[in-house]
A and B are shown apart, each in its own frame.
Chain A
Amino acid sequence: MRLDPTGAQVVTLSGELDSSNADSLKERVASIPPRPAAPLIFDLTGLRFMDSAGIAVLIGAAAKASSMSLRNPSPIIRRVLEATGLSNVLSIES
């Protein structure tokens, strides 16, 4: 997980996001200062797996950020987002 400011605030997730590391991600996200002008982007290119704990973190981040989007989720992740109806409320960019 890296914080890579490039205009927008990009958080890159890779590997697996589950209950074992969701809490630490939540803390990292909470420590990001909210900037109204800069959107928050989660780069999910390298993320292979995400369970409900991970989804909860993303939902929480979306609630607090002024604008948030998920970048390039894998087919597996994308399907999960569709099944839970979140693909309608979270912006997903490829």
Chain B
Amino acid sequence: MSSRAVTAGGTGSGYDLAGEPAAAEGPVEGVASPARPSGSLWRWRPSRVTVAALLTGLIVTGALSLTSAAVYNRNERRLLNLRVRELSLVLASTAPSTQTPLASAAELANATGGDAQKFRAFMAPYVGPGRQFTSVSLWPLGTAHLAPSTVLGKTPALASMPERAERFFRHSTRPGALNLTGFLESPHPALGFDFSAPGRARGFAVYAEKPLPANRRSKLEKNSAFSDLNYALYLGHSKRTGDVLVTSLKHLPIKGRQASDVVPFGAGVFTVVVSPNGSLGGSFFEHLPWIIALVGLLVSLAAALMTDRLARRRRYAEQLVGVLDRVAAENRDMYTEQRSIAQTLQHALLPDTLPEFAGLRVGARYVPAASGIDVGGDWYDIVAASDGQVLVMIGDVSGHGLRAATTMASLRHAALAYAAQDPSPSSVLAQLSDFVNSGPHDYFATMLCALIDVGAHRLTVASAGHLPPLVIDDDGGRFVRFDANVPIGVARKSPYLETAVSVRPNTTLIAFTDGLVERRGEVLDVGLARLRETATNVELPLEDLLIELAHGLASEGHHDDTAIVGIRWQS
């Protein structure tokens, strides 16, 4: 009744409070998984990175937007300046159309001595409603009182202002040039033009007047080249509202972005002031800063949200890594624990101490497989069998793990029982073989039995698929030659044969399992030769020899467990 332990990142992964493993659940279940990123906006606390991303986006957007606005404004100003200059040029170019008729009339007057008839005839096309001037008059300059000698069209305003006329003609005007004067305060505002020929004591002056629109308003045509401008034309250098001649605007003075230029007109000047009617460079660029701001804001928000999400994911992943690290550490601990259990088990299954025998030194070593925690299936036994005889049994059950170990244990005990009845190797193997084959089994075991007659210096061996033992004496070392029969557990067609070997005094016998000589990619004989090389021609006590052989294994990184048994005649 183990309950699932939910500990917040605690110690007991997979174990309930009683310390028993949680039933059939992976180790992660017991640890509370880290909080998933919540989507609720209420608890949305932005991380530093998110805020940074958002601020960066806003700052960049702001900078771009401002830059765009600045560029647009500069462009507009530049364009406006260009336009006003264009307008100024166009206006200035109309001067000749005013000056030329007056100049010609002046020449004519001087030539004809002020002939009224001729004057009237000449100037007639220029005067009248809808024509260039409403009034043209001829003023002789030689007289004491200035007054027009001939008037065509309306009576000029100047005619009723003798002081002004005096000032104008005598002092203000320049001969040989078009002179301007304005009547801007009067109820009928007008502009006056004068021309007198240079030299000849300034004979006659031709004076024309042109009315200004009543409210000085004059809109440019829609399709005019300057329809993108509002303008105001002033007389002289002034920009005062009182001095405006014509304008397209309702309210003066012009507010906002404007440019002005001086328009030379004969001897006088106009001042033209313009302001843009809409956006000179195109309305898209006018709106661009706002578009940039809006898009930038959206992008910044999106980036910030994405960053926030990524930051969350990362935090979650880091938490996960923490959990995984914990799990890995726990697995490592469990593995180490299991390994030591396995080794304890192995230790329990093999003989603890070897008995002593008169006239023999005996030793054994077991080397577990390098990797893994699995127990192996190798075993050995050295037992006394009727007086003066010693039975050595060594075996290797196929496979690994607890199954092989328990099979090995039962085989070992069965062999010991059979050996106690009849220690002859062929009998032990045959009985063991029949015993195993009599029931279902899915393993096999190689086994070697060697019955040693200490005093007679003889050994009798039988092998069930097991490698031959190595016999070492003063002449060197050699493997016992025999034909191995099949391993225990394989259907047997013939009895196990015994091979008898006589040995010299002080012979050493090494019995082993295939882990000692088998290497991947190598023919078995190579390993056997290597063993023989290592074991012969060395003067070592038996224990040390066995240690030496076992050491040679450990450095190889062997994958199979190995048992080595050593027997040495003392004489």
Q: Pick the interface stretch among B36-44, B65-73, B246-254, B479-487.
A: B479-487
Contact B521 A85 (CB under 8 A): no
**Which one of A19, A76, A79 lies within 8 Å of B400 (CB-CB)?**
A19
CB-CB < 8 A to B485: which residues of A? 85, 88
Contact B486 A89 (CB under 8 A): yes
**Bound CA–CA A48/B493 (angstroms):** 29
B403 to chain A, nearest CB (A): 12
Among A16, A49, A53, A84, find the residue whose CB has the most chain B CB atoms closer than 10 A: A84
Which residues of B, 525-571, contact A by the 8 Å Cβ criterion? 525, 560
* Nearest B residue (CB) for A26: B442
The 0/1 profile, CB within 8 Å of A marked 1, for residues 446-488 of chain B is 1000000000000000011111000000000000000111110
**Bound CA–CA A51/B521 (angstroms):** 12
Contact A56 B398 (CB under 8 A): yes
* Nearest B residue (CB) for A49: B520
Contact A76 B523 (CB under 8 A): yes
Contact A85 B464 (CB under 8 A): yes
CB-CB < 8 A to B463: which residues of A? 85
Contact B483 A85 (CB under 8 A): yes
Q: Is A52 close to B, CB under 8 A?
A: yes
Contact A86 B490 (CB under 8 A): yes
B423 to chain A, nearest CB (A): 22
Main secondary structure of the interface of A (DSSP, over half): helix
B556 to chain A, nearest CB (A): 15
**Bound CA–CA A88/B396 (angstroms):** 20
**Bound CA–CA A53/B466 (angstroms):** 15
**Which one of B467, B491, B523 lies within 8 Å of A89 (CB-CB)?**
B491
**Bound CA–CA A64/B399 (angstroms):** 20
* Nearest A residue (CB) for B528: A83
Contact A53 B524 (CB under 8 A): no
CB-CB < 8 A to B514: which residues of A? 52, 83
**Which one of B442, B467, B560 lies within 8 Å of A56 (CB-CB)?**
B442
Q: Is A80 close to B, CB under 8 A?
A: yes
Q: Is B221 close to A, CB under 8 A?
A: no
Q: Is B444 close to A, CB under 8 A?
A: yes
B400 to chain A, nearest CB (A): 6
Contact A79 B464 (CB under 8 A): no
Q: Is A46 close to B, CB under 8 A?
A: no
Q: Is A63 close to B, CB under 8 A?
A: yes
Contact B524 A48 (CB under 8 A): no
Contact A89 B490 (CB under 8 A): yes
Q: Is A3 close to B, CB under 8 A?
A: no
Contact A79 B493 (CB under 8 A): no
CB-CB < 8 A to B493: which residues of A? 88-89
**Bound CA–CA A22/B334 (angstroms):** 27
A29 to chain B, nearest CB (A): 12
CB-CB < 8 A to A59: which residues of B? 444, 489-490
**Bound CA–CA A55/B399 (angstroms):** 10
Q: Known: A56-B444, A85-B465, A89-B491. Contact between A76 and B396, CB under 8 A?
A: no
Q: Is A36 close to B, CB under 8 A?
A: no
Q: Is B443 close to A, CB under 8 A?
A: yes
Q: Is B522 close to A, CB under 8 A?
A: yes
CB-CB < 8 A to A83: which residues of B? 465, 467, 484, 514, 524
Q: Is A5 close to B, CB under 8 A?
A: no
Q: Is A7 close to B, CB under 8 A?
A: no
Contact A86 B491 (CB under 8 A): no
B468 to chain A, nearest CB (A): 9
**Bound CA–CA A16/B485 (angstroms):** 26
**Which one of B443, B446, B520 lies within 8 Å of A84 (CB-CB)?**
B446
Contact B399 A53 (CB under 8 A): yes
Contact A85 B398 (CB under 8 A): no
A23 to chain B, nearest CB (A): 10
**Which one of A53, A76, A86 lies within 8 Å of B522 (CB-CB)?**
A76
CB-CB < 8 A to A63: which residues of B? 491
**Which one of A16, A49, A51, A84 lies within 8 Å of B487 (CB-CB)?**
A84
Contact B465 A84 (CB under 8 A): yes
B107 to chain A, nearest CB (A): 121
Q: Is A33 close to B, CB under 8 A?
A: no
**Bound CA–CA A16/B521 (angstroms):** 10
* Nearest A residue (CB) for B404: A52
The 0/1 profile, CB within 8 Å of B marked 1, for residues 73-94 of chain A is 0011001100111101100000
Contact A52 B523 (CB under 8 A): no
CB-CB < 8 A to B486: which residues of A? 84-86, 88-89
**Which one of A49, A60, A84, A89 lies within 8 Å of B521 (CB-CB)?**
A49
The 0/1 profile, CB within 8 Å of B marked 1, for residues 3-20 of chain A is 000000000000010010
CB-CB < 8 A to B466: which residues of A? 84
Contact B399 A80 (CB under 8 A): no
**Which one of A51, A55, A80, A88 lies within 8 Å of B444 (CB-CB)?**
A55
Can you give 24 A-B contacts (C-beta < 8 A)? A16-B520, A19-B399, A51-B518, A51-B560, A52-B398, A55-B398, A56-B398, A56-B442, A59-B444, A75-B523, A76-B522, A76-B524, A79-B525, A80-B524, A83-B484, A83-B524, A84-B446, A84-B465, A85-B483, A85-B484, A85-B485, A86-B487, A88-B486, A89-B491
* Chain A residues with a Cβ under 8 A of chain B: 16, 19, 48-49, 51-53, 55-56, 59-60, 63, 75-76, 79-80, 83-86, 88-89
List 7 extra interface pairs beyond A53-B399, A86-B490, CB under 8 A. A52-B398, A55-B398, A76-B523, A84-B486, A86-B486, A88-B486, A89-B493
Nearest first, the 10 A-B pairs at minimum CB distance are: A84-B465, A85-B484, A52-B398, A56-B398, A85-B465, A79-B524, A85-B486, A85-B485, A76-B523, A49-B520
